[in-house]
Structure 1
Amino acid sequence: MRLVSATVAALAAAATLGTALPAQAAAPALQIVKIYYDSPGADRRSNSSLNAEYITLLNTTKRAVALEGWSVRDKTGYTYEFGADVVLGAKKRITVRTGQGGDGTSSVYWNRKQYVWNNDRDSAYVRDAKGRAVDSCSYKASTRAAYVAC
């Protein structure tokens, strides 16, 4: 009998404790983790410089996410839309590079010939295939950093 009473008391305490904790917001399915907004060296729009400017996204879920129709855009409205063949595995990252290149499983390319991310300040937005806002990250550049961790 004593064991049952102790168990009931422990369950009651756990239930009380559980309701007393603040609710945490769920992480977005696709989360912005880094924006490298100021590629090294002079901004001469070489493809290597453009590709050193990028945004990295993380699939926070325990399942693969088909990214067809998902998009990344900056405050100006420059938009990258993922194609049908991009599937991001559970807990995996993908980098969207500004310049040109061959898409793979860990990097895709915007195929632009001009920079996207402003060196002084900007905002990044991720939308799902239905156009719903999923995540965003804004930054104001410091003099020592060329990227922001979101």
Structure 2
Amino acid sequence: MRRLMICIVLLAVGSTLILTGCSSGKSEKEGLDSLQNVQKIDRTEGGEIIQTVSDADEINSFSKALEVEKWKLAGKQKDDLVAGSTYLFYRTDTVKFGEEQADQTDMKEVARITAYKEEPYVLLMYGGVEMVFEVPAEVQHRLNQ
């Protein structure tokens, strides 16, 4: 009986370690992974669309240039900063079982990034939550050029 209990405990601990190992290495920013499915990005300034990107390669290169893994959570929104460019991320809804494919023209905004002109901060609005991040200076420069 005692051997059976020891085997059960070892099996439970081993399973826990294996399952925990599958999720290790993930960061808080991996919630942004769904931005990889973005189908269109609009760049705006002052409410006017300046540029639209819908090519998958360009979207992928833009995503890599953001260097999200280097972003640091900055806390509350900075009130004294002047907003620069704003990027709107769009994609079509996921088709659920029994539904028909939606039109490509029927896209929803899934995220918004506002870069500030003078300081290396961005405001990310994603999933109804606003977060301010400190970003590398080169990322801030790329977002505002």
Q: TM-score with structure 1 length normalisation? A: 0.35
Larger helix share, 1 or 2: 2
